Amino acid sequence: MRYVDLSAANPGLVYCSITGFGSKAGAALSGYDFLVQAVGGLMSITGDPHVEPQKVGVALVDVLTSKDSVIGILAALQTRSRSGKGQRIDVNLLSSLLSSLTDQASAYLATGRSPERMGNQHPSIAPYETLRCKDGYLAVCCGNDTQFRRLAAVLEIPFLADSRFVTNAARVAHRAKLGAALEEMLCRDASDVWAARLTDVEVSAGKIGTVGSAIDLATSLDLDPIVSFGDESCSQVRHPITYSATPVTRYQPPPRLGADGDEVRRWLSGESDFWRNLGPHAPGEHSMKDQPKQTET
């Protein structure tokens, strides 16, 4: 149903519309993550410049748009708690992508030149890329000159201190020679060995991992990345936010098709106790007392 019809019955309604290209001139266009990655410029700055443009490895635009939707809904609910009035929120895939291009979009707006694909290199920092080691690749991030001097000391390459590499601007200008010199030394040992040695001197470096090793890393850092449900359902990645005052106390697996249909219908009709905690203009009682404990689904 349309927002105009629903809001007439419930002025406190917060209504979120998600489209591919907006509700105006782009309303008739179908919105798919891959398509928006292509036409929205993300593929033009992703991947090796010598091969075909590449999409990101997950449906990133869908995820970004979902997060924008949640931000908008929460802001509207906060406004409603003061004014008692709801509103319509419009979110679209293309706008969410453009707002997430951050420095790349800003570079275009400042210069009129569209950024291009640089693989894993950074347009204005060096070394900030993947470098070949004996057994694979190492991600190295030298965000300042101090970190670079530490890197040079660990690798024991004296000439890295000359004028071609002494400042970040100089390293960017000579990035090809810099990368070759670094890889010549790095190829003498394994990536995990170099990662440990560089981390020890506070140079940001890490072996290229897998999804599995990433989950293992998060576990080793006490981030508790996994939620298990026993035999009830497959384990899931935990919600990334933790709350000091209202911690999540109970987790639920993804519902099966139709599992919560009756409760959703009671919720929409105002018969569910859940409405009592939604504030002004929600069906049923309007009290904000006795907020329920959070449940993560």
What residues are annotated to the active site?
A: 62
What ranges in the chain are assigned the alpha helix state H? 3-9, 33-39, 60-83, 93-100, 102-111, 145-155, 168-173, 175-186, 191-200, 211-220, 261-269
**Percentages of the chain per state (helix, strand, coil), in multiples of 5:** 40, 10, 45
| Residue from 203, 192, 191 nearest 154 by CA | 203
**Beta strand pairing call for 87-92 and 204-207:** unpaired
Tell me which DSSP letter residue 293 carries.
P
Q: Show Cβ contacts of residue 261 under 8 Å, excluding neighbours closer than 6 positions.
A: none
Under DSSP, is residue 256 helix (H, G, I), strand (E, B) or coil? Answer: coil
88 CA to centre of own chain: 25
| Residue from 15, 14, 18 nearest 66 by CA | 18
Residue type, 8: A
**Beta strand pairing call for 128-132 and 137-141:** antiparallel
C-alpha 215/C-alpha 34 separation (Å) is 26
First-to-last CA distance in the chain? Answer: 26
Residue with tokens 């907006």: 22
